[in-house]
Chains A and B, each alone.
Chain A
């Protein structure tokens, strides 16, 4: 029998591929026999801190819980956390540091859509799994890639559609005034809203405003002139407060529904609209399974108090979006568990694509699929009079589907 050079080479390659499975797993960045390194990033300082500081804390406390229970297949989760300030430049720099310097296995971060979308190209090029925290991040989710998963809070496409669904079904609105931002963020939620308006046979009067708008007289008057049955505000907190205040000043008494994007601080909202009189017929959208602190999600708030007693004692803590960090962390943990004792990034990504579970935290289940990268599309609605919050029955979602 003659042994050629190529036979030796093939045998060597086969041995390398077949015989060193665990060793190969160990060569994955951020993975040791005893630890898995997760790179987190969120706005830990600056004007947009309310969007992600406590969301990151929630994810961290969930990882701590998993570690206390023994970790994942014997490996403890090790978190490296960076501040992205909800700014695209800072966020990309944080991602590069986590991937190149800290050599993390998987990324878990992003609380602001526009900023996190800026990391898409880098993440995809380097084939690093990115599981967002609470950013909708639709710009990075559609069209779907193999590496990015998000919208654990909710997809922007679903925000607008679910609001139409609520206004039409529960409030019986036939003509709806709709205010959104005049940017990509606004375009996404309007696309979902239009899909649901068509399905519900509802007329939409739309005004798109710049997020920095100071005087909302013109858009408000135009919407009021359309004689709507309800006013839907799908903006950040500041333009939303200006619209609600203007509506009160001009005696508008139809229902006003505020999207989840504008509800970061409800007590501040009440002050900003000039007091409870402006909230006589007011609803806001939420994506949790229950009222904040309600019985279904009390465990999250209890865990927060236990994990961060100093923070919990401060006013305005936990921040409104805190629980959104849990389903994101849960998804990573479930995917790592499913990937087995010798995980690779590819195995984890494959597991992510098949996730379908109820986190017990959000209004709807986390569902990914072959071409589905947005975790949540379900919302609830709460009536708010400035003091009391009353949960409205039902869960509302959008009928919008990505068409490629």
Chain B
């Protein structure tokens, strides 16, 4: 491989990796948000992402709803659906057993229900293209070639991340969410309504996933299996430390770039294993993840 090609691959790998990594980061954020407040890994996050994408597809393509209406409507549906699931299903499951394992199983159940629902509609029978909301004309960044859509994906993802940062840092509800994540009992003693906060976190997490779906769907083609992309988001969250929101963002970019560079410099076959190699390397060097806190040793 000559020097020019190495330089081209390097630039393209990093730029393309940052675009797709920004979407992994959003999904990782939505996973970490829920995990921080309820210590439940949401295994339905990928299907929430998929179902939101199909909801938008249905509105935009099959109902010819204008974009200005279809996008907010999709976000509202995602928010309401996830918040209701938290309120109706998880609260009941939690009351019934109190074991976190049952909550995890409930999220797995949600994933199957959503996948089944999309398949029942018939829209998931064939790979479908989601209309790009931004032009797909080419843009050069150095030697790397991407599209205007890629630029829009990256910038929108950054804007959502900035919004979430401001929400958690400067708003009362955001601080309440953080408090619930740190110590739910103390938060309740301070007057925080735990039920409401849990619903808000689930709803917000679904909205972030829905935005990720709106951004990436024009690039990856839609199928009922597209939620599988959440594997990358889990990898990103683990690399970042699983409880750290900035860690989830950095993890997303690490996984996105690693995938591309491994594909370019090692083998296309190795793309699927790249995220897991990244997880192993990070966990060997920093078992708590890049942004995880100190490793706590519990005395038993």
| Cβ contacts under 8 Å, B125 to chain A | 46-47, 49-50
Q: Which residues of A contact B127 (CB under 8 A)?
A: 237-238, 241, 268, 272
Decide if A214 is an interface residue (CB 8 Å cutoff).
yes
Q: Does A191 contact B (CB under 8 A)?
A: no
Tell whether A71 is near chain B: CB-to-CB under 8 Å. Answer: no
Does A204 count as interface, using CB distance less than 8 angstroms?
no
B268 A215 Cβ-Cβ under 8 A: no
Which residues of B are found within 8 Å of A221, using beta-carbon distances? 8-9, 12, 264
**Pairwise interchain contact A249-B138, C-beta atoms closer than 8 A:** yes
Q: Are B223 and A210 in contact (CB under 8 A)?
A: no
Q: Does A7 sit within 8 A of B, measured CB to CB?
A: no
Q: Pick the contact of A46 from B119, B145, B268, B271 — CB < 8 Å? A: B119
Q: Which residues of B contact A215 (CB under 8 A)?
A: 16, 20, 219-220, 259-260, 271
Q: For this complex, into which size category does the number of interface residues on chain B fall?
A: 35 or more
User: Does A356 sit at the interface, judged by CB under 8 A?
Assistant: no
Q: Is A264 in contact with chain B by the CB < 8 A criterion?
A: yes
State how many angstroms separate the Cβ of B256 from the closest Cβ of chain A: 8
- Complex Cα gap A249–B151 (Å): 14
Residue of B nearest to A225 (CB): B5
- Residues of chain B within 8 A of A210, CB atoms compared: 269, 271-272
Q: Which residues in chain B, 152-183, are within 8 Å of chain A measured between CB atoms?
A: none
Cβ contacts A22-42/B at 8 Å (1 or 0 each): 000000000000000000000
Are A271 and B129 in touch, CB under 8 angstroms?
Answer: yes
Which of B25-33, B38-46, B224-232, B242-250 sits within the interface? B224-232
> B13 interface residue, CB < 8 Å from A?
yes
B136 adjacent to chain A (CB < 8 Å): yes
Q: In the complex where A217-B260, A274-B136 touch, is A209 in contact with B225 (Cβ < 8 A)? A: no
Please tell me if the beta carbons of B136 and A209 are within 8 angstroms of each other in the complex.
Answer: no
**A212 & B225 in contact (Cβ 8 Å cutoff):** yes
Contact across chains for B221 and A242 when beta carbons are under 8 A apart: yes
Q: Is B124 on the interface with A (CB-CB < 8 A)?
A: yes
A188-222 interface (Cβ within 8 A of B): 207-210, 212-215, 217-219, 221-222
Q: Are A47 and B229 in contact, with the CB atoms below 8 A?
A: no
Give the interface residue-count category, chain A: 20 to 34
**Interface majority SS (helix, strand, loop, mixed), chain B:** helix
CB of A171 within 8 Å of the partner chain: no
> Which residues of B (268-283) have their CB < 8 Å from a CB of A?
268-269, 271-272
In the complex, which residues of chain A have a beta carbon less than 8 angstroms from the beta carbon of B138?
249-251
Interface centre among B223, B260, B269 (most CB of A within 10 A): B269
Q: Are A47 and B119 in contact (CB under 8 A)?
A: yes
User: Smallest distance from the beta carbon of B15 to chain A beta carbons, Å?
Assistant: 9
Whether A265 contacts B264 by the Cβ 8 Å rule is: no
Given A46-B119, A215-B260 in contact, is the A238-B223 Cβ separation under 8 Å?
yes
CB proximity of B55 to chain A, nearest CB, Å: 18
With beta carbons under 8 angstroms apart, the residue of B9, B20, B147, B225 that contacts A47 is B225
A209–B223 touching, CB < 8 Å: no
Complex: how many Å from CA A46 to CA B291?
Answer: 42
Q: A50-B125, A265-B126 are in contact. Are A182 and B145 (CB under 8 A)?
A: no
Which residues in B have their C-beta under 8 angstroms from that of A274? 129, 132, 136
With A214-B20, A215-B16, A221-B9: A207-B225 Cβ-Cβ less than 8 Å: no
Q: Which residues of A contact B126 (CB under 8 A)?
A: 47, 50, 237, 264-265, 268
Contacts of B9 in A (CB 8 A): 221
Q: Which of A210, A242, A249, A274 has the most CB of B within 10 A?
A: A249
Evaluate contact between A272 and B225: CB separation under 8 angstroms. Answer: no
Decide yes or no whether B286 CB sits under 8 A from chain A. Answer: no
| Cβ-defined contact, A47 with B268, below 8 A | no
A-B contact pairs, 17 of them (CB 8 A): A46-B125, A47-B126, A47-B223, A47-B224, A207-B268, A210-B269, A214-B20, A214-B220, A215-B219, A215-B220, A218-B13, A218-B263, A238-B223, A249-B145, A249-B147, A271-B128, A274-B136
User: What are the 8 tightest A-B residue pairs by CB atom distance, in nearest-first order?
Assistant: A218-B263, A219-B268, A238-B127, A217-B16, A272-B129, A214-B220, A207-B268, A218-B264
Q: Which A positions have Cβ atoms within 8 angstroms of B?
A: 46-47, 49-50, 182, 207-210, 212-215, 217-219, 221-222, 225, 237-238, 241-242, 249-251, 264-265, 268, 271-272, 274
